[in-house]
């Protein structure tokens, strides 16, 4: 059981929850603040003063006063009317992360929901009741309204949920898990659907997968360097210290360590007619290091957002105040930054693949890395696949945060587009894992051609994990399954574990 501390939960804890599926609950110390805010909302609901979302309509209908006896109906209607999401369901692991983020937000004691609501989310996480949440429908302002409404619908016994791998009605899923639906009190529906938890969960997943891809790129780039018998002189620490960027310094150090002991490298230190390698080899620390710095910058923003209160109105010392914390601009910016890092990591990796299959640049490797070129095409079209995915990622990396469109009768006249800014990161990371998988295949093939010279012990271990899935290419064969297997080694971290590479986000 993972205990979440509102305001102080770390990215490492959230990644563990997402990857491992561990149940989560709020620190019980949060209850006093939650109860106090709920009491404040209850008093407002019974009072005569109009308080947005407590005893009024929503959005453009905020001027419509609701009678105290209708507040429960108001909240239920809010949820049902906002269940307008479309598209495929969000992956259950990401939905669980979204639910945990909602716990963190509610646990700050400013939303005014009862502890009963929090307890139901905790129980759903523990017992595996995962709401069906369509991935399209949020513009990332006034909260991720439609996605979070679908989450909440399952909590009130409407909508749909997954339970033990089966998709069923929300009511049936709760009953099968021994849980009862909650009847929403004043402001509770609004507190559940206002917020950035959908966008933030997707951005966090993009960050976690992106960091793993970036570290894999360090391994594959080192393999490629040995495959073309490239120089490690550009990795010298003093060069990078003179520039001073943290990521660049760490990447150069990691690459030096990965290549330590390479016989291939030692074989051409002297009498090599080449003066400089192409940029895709020589400038790897500069590019990967810059991407690393961007991911860390985004991580800082997303860790803050994961612990933030982002619904509306909020219960604060001055009363119940309407504000704009639901606007997901920080998440949109973070997602756009992650997208840039992913696109550039794939772009330079693709150039390394192109380098290895080109006999004019690969330092005596055979064309397309096949022993019998002409009769065989080798990795010719695998390189084309990487070019296609690289180009697709470049298009996907165009910013989403610069877009906006007014909604809700111009009440919500500037929006962040954070939801699809974050959602496209999944597609980009999938593309990048394939590019890196193909690079690993090509680099291993190139290293094999350098026999009896050997690469470093750590890169040999990485090659062994790859060769268990894809043997050396002696003649043409059906390659699609091997490309998928290689990209799976990238995605699940197997190549990193074999190379013993760890760098903290």
C-alpha span between 142 and 133 (Å, rounded): 18
Q: Which residues contact 295 (CB under 8 A, 6 or more apart)?
A: 207, 210, 211, 214, 337, 338, 341, 505
Q: Which of 41, 46, 40 is nearest to 69 (CA)?
A: 46
- Count CB atoms within 10 A of the CB of residue 39: 13
- CA 167-168-170 angle, 5° bins: 120
Collapsing DSSP to helix, strand or coil, 365 comes out as: coil
Contact 319, 114 (CB under 8 A): no
C-alpha span between 190 and 82 (Å, rounded): 10
Contact 287, 348 (CB under 8 A): yes
C-alpha span between 228 and 451 (Å, rounded): 13
Contact 353, 386 (CB under 8 A): yes
Name the residue with tokens 């504000």.
323
The one-character DSSP state at 168 is E
Contact 202, 426 (CB under 8 A): yes
Name the residue with tokens 């909602």.
102
Q: Which residues contact 487 (CB under 8 A, 6 or more apart)?
A: 433, 434, 436, 437, 438
C-alpha span between 438 and 423 (Å, rounded): 24
Which residues, in sequence order, are bridge partners of residue 373?
A: 376
Collapsing DSSP to helix, strand or coil, 122 comes out as: helix
Contact 306, 9 (CB under 8 A): yes
C-alpha span between 29 and 6 (Å, rounded): 10
Which residues, in sequence order, are bridge partners of residue 131?
A: 161
C-alpha span between 138 and 124 (Å, rounded): 24
Q: Is 163 an active-site residue?
A: no
Q: Which of 246, 291, 249, 250 is nearest to 429 (CA)?
A: 291
Residue from 52, 163, 379, 478 carrying the catalytic annotation: 52
Question: Which H or E element spans position 24?
Answer: strand 24-26
Tokens representing 335?
Answer: 């997602």
CA 126 to chain centre: 23
Burial class (CB in 10 A: 0-12, 13-18, 19+), 102: buried
Question: Which H or E element spans position 130?
Answer: strand 129-131
Q: Which are the catalytic amino acids?
A: 52
């Amino acid at each position: 059981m993972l205990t979440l501390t509102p305001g102080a939960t770390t990215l490492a804890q959230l990644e563990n929850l997402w990857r491992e599926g561990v149940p989560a609950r709020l620190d019980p110390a949060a209850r006093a603040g939650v109860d106090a805010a709920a009491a404040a909302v209850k008093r407002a609901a019974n009072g005569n003063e109009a308080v947005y979302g407590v005893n009024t309509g929503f959005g453009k209908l905020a001027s419509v006063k609701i009678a105290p006896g209708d507040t429960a109906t108001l909240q239920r209607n809010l949820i049902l009317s906002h269940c307008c999401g479309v598209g495929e369901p969000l992956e259950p692991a990401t939905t669980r992360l979204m639910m945990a983020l909602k716990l963190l937000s509610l646990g700050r004691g400013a939303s005014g929901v009862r502890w009963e609501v929090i307890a139901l989310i905790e129980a759903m996480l523990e017992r595996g009741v995962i709401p069906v949440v369509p991935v399209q429908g949020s513009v990332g302002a006034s909260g991720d309204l439609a996605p979070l409404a679908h989450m909440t619908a399952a909590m009130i016994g409407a909508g749909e949920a997954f339970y033990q791998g089966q998709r069923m009605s929300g009511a049936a899923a709760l009953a099968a898990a021994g849980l009862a639906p909650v009847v929403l009190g004043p402001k509770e529906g609004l507190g559940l659907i206002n917020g950035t938890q959908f966008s933030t969960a997707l951005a966090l997943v993009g960050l976690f997968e992106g960091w793993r891809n970036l570290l894999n790129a360090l391994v594959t780039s080192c393999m490629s360097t040995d495959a073309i018998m490239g120089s490690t002189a550009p990795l010298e620490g003093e060069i990078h210290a003179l520039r001073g960027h943290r990521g660049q310094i760490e990447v150069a150090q990691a690459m030096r360590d990965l290549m330590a002991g390479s016989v291939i490298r030692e074989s051409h230190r002297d009498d090599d007619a080449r003066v400089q390698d192409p940029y895709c080899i020589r400038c790897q620390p500069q590019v990967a290091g810059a991407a690393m710095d961007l991911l860390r910058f985004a991580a800082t923003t997303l860790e803050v957002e994961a612990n933030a209160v982002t619904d509306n109105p909020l219960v604060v010392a001055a009363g119940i105040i309407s504000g704009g914390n639901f606007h997901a601009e920080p998440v949109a910016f973070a997602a756009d930054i992650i997208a840039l890092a992913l696109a550039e990591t794939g772009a330079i990796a693709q150039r390394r693949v192109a380098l290895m299959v080109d006999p004019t640049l690969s330092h005596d490797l055979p064309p397309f890395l096949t022993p019998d070129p002409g009769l065989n095409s080798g990795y010719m079209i695998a390189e084309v696949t990487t070019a296609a995915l690289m180009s697709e990622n470049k298009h996907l990396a165009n910013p989403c945060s610069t877009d906006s469109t007014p909604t809700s009768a111009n009440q919500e006249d500037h929006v962040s587009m954070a939801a699809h800014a974050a959602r496209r990161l999944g597609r980009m990371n999938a593309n990048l894992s394939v590019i890196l998988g193909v690079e690993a295949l090509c680099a291993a093939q190139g290293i094999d051609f350098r026999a009896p010279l050997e690469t470093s012990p750590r890169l040999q271990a990485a090659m062994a994990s790859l060769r268990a899935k894809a043997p050396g290419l002696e003649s043409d064969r059906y390659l699609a399954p091997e490309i998928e297997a290689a990209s799976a080694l990238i995605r699940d971290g197997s190549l990193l574990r074999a190379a013993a590479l760890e760098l903290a986000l």
